[in-house]
Amino acid sequence: MKEKILILGGTEFVGRLLVEALTKDKTKELFLFNRGRTNPNLFPEVTKIIGDRETDDIKKIKAQHWDYVIDFSSYYPASLQRTIDQLTKTVKKYIYISTISVYDFGTYIRGEKITEDFAKVTCTPEEAIDTTMRTYGKKKMACEHVLAKADWLNTIIIRPSIIYGKHDPTDRFYYWCRKIKKTNEVLIPNQGENKLTLTYADDMVRILLHAINENLPAGAYNCGTHLPVSFNQMLTWMNETCEESCAFFGMDQQTLKQEKVALPISVLCDLIIDSSKIKLASGLQFQSFENSVKTMMAYFEAENWPTCKVGISDQAQKDLISKIKTKAS
């Protein structure tokens, strides 16, 4: 008999990539539970359970005995508890997608490695029902606590950093690729020396497949998929890939804040995410950041460089760089 996999979400970004991979596995039977609003026409061959997990719709999943549950869409501890309440002990693994935002970055010392045991944020009852992104990491931490209390459930928690890859709806990584491709001068945070540890979506999917198919021990795992790389190095690789010649102009975070400018992915600069635990436990080798940059630049080239939804416009960037030049002269 085929093993039954329930994916909560599954039609956007990493969930979409995972479903694409799992549909090739003929030993698995897939079911997607979501609201049917995001890319509803994807995966016509997969059974879909339409519902809102924040309502009694979640009771629909009780009709089946699941072997695996992969949870991309849980943001509130109360609804996660209601989800768990619908499951039986036949579930072999519950794989929960959390975030590195569960860590208390206010206690971070520059250069320190953030392991899975690093200090965590706390979540008040009011924050647990807050609907804004301001409390995103706190609510995810509260969800992790819910899973910890369900000690009968074999839970694997994945904590990615900022994720980049195909079908990314946020455009946070794409912003920098497009600026390199379309402008000759690029505004960067500070002087570009700050380090990044991101999560490549393709490698995250490999981790999830390993979690499903192999004997990955229960527990929480950081999921940064490359060694720390500076902004300058990332942009240089983008530059070299598209054979452009861009100049970089740094602006410190205080000035950026005064100018009311938020540059994508710069918020989590200089956080060294230690992902040695997942690498050791899985034995997986991830694609180098340089090669993933080349892959993504080629992908965006094929997509014909669509308009970017985040960051600042090319004209606003040009105006700020002019200020830097004037100040330096």
CATH number at residue 8: 3.40.50.720
> Average of pLDDT values for 211-237?
95
- Would 166 be classed as within a structural domain? no
Give the number of domains in the chain: 2
- Would 223 be classed as within a structural domain? no
Task: Give yes or no: residues 27 and 154 share one domain.
Answer: yes
Task: Give yes or no: residues 144 and 178 share one domain.
Answer: no
Comparing CA positions, the residue from 225, 228, 218, 209 lying closest to residue 281 is 218
Largest CA-CA distance found in the chain, in angstroms, rounded: 73
> Average of pLDDT values for 146-154?
97
Task: Give yes or no: residues 150 and 242 share one domain.
Answer: no
Comparing CA positions, the residue from 6, 19, 22 lying closest to residue 58 is 6
pTM: 0.95
Task: Give yes or no: residues 141 and 261 share one domain.
Answer: no
Compute the Cα dihedral for 229, 235, 238, 244 and give only its sign.
negative
Provide the percentage of residues in the chain whose pLDDT is more than 90.
92
Task: Give yes or no: residues 247 and 107 share one domain.
Answer: no
- Of 160, 188, 208, which residue sits at a domain end? 160
> Average of pLDDT values for 152-176?
97
Provide the percentage of residues in the chain whose pLDDT is more than 70.
100
Exposure string over 13-43, b if 16+ CB within 10 A, otherwise e:
bbbbbbbeebeeeeebbbbbbbbeeeeeeeb
> Average of pLDDT values for 162-190?
96
- Of 132, 160, 188, which residue sits at a domain end? 160
Task: Give yes or no: residues 135 and 22 share one domain.
Answer: yes
Task: Give yes or no: residues 102 and 149 share one domain.
Answer: yes
Task: Give yes or no: residues 180 and 300 share one domain.
Answer: yes
Whether 204 has a pLDDT exceeding 90, the answer reads yes
Question: Which pLDDT score, from 0 to 100, does residue 312 have?
Answer: 96
- CA dist 11 and 73 (Å) reads 11
* C-alpha triplet 73, 74, 79: angle, nearest 5°: 130
Whether 160 has a pLDDT exceeding 80, the answer reads yes
Provide the domain limits for residue 240. 172-196+228-271+287-328
Which of the four pLDDT bands, split at 50, 70 and 90, describes residue 203? Answer: very high
- Would 16 be classed as within a structural domain? yes
Which of the four pLDDT bands, split at 50, 70 and 90, describes residue 245? Answer: confident
Task: Give yes or no: residues 25 and 124 share one domain.
Answer: yes
Average predicted confidence (pLDDT) for the chain: 95
Task: Give yes or no: residues 34 and 180 share one domain.
Answer: no
pLDDT digits (tens, 9 = 90+) for 248-291: 999 998 999 999 999 999 877 788 999 999 999 999 999 999 99
Task: Give yes or no: residues 8 and 153 share one domain.
Answer: yes
DSSP E strands: which ranges in the chain? 3-8, 28-34, 47-50, 68-71, 93-97, 113-114, 155-160, 163-164, 185-189, 195-196, 199-200, 219-223, 229-230, 247-251, 272-273
Question: Which pLDDT score, from 0 to 100, does residue 127 have?
Answer: 98
pLDDT digits (tens, 9 = 90+) for 47-58: 999 999 999 999
- CA dist 238 and 223 (Å) reads 23
Which of the four pLDDT bands, split at 50, 70 and 90, describes residue 111? Answer: confident
* C-alpha triplet 140, 286, 230: angle, nearest 5°: 75
Which of the four pLDDT bands, split at 50, 70 and 90, describes residue 110? Answer: confident
Question: Which pLDDT score, from 0 to 100, does residue 328 have?
Answer: 87
Whether 61 has a pLDDT exceeding 90, the answer reads yes
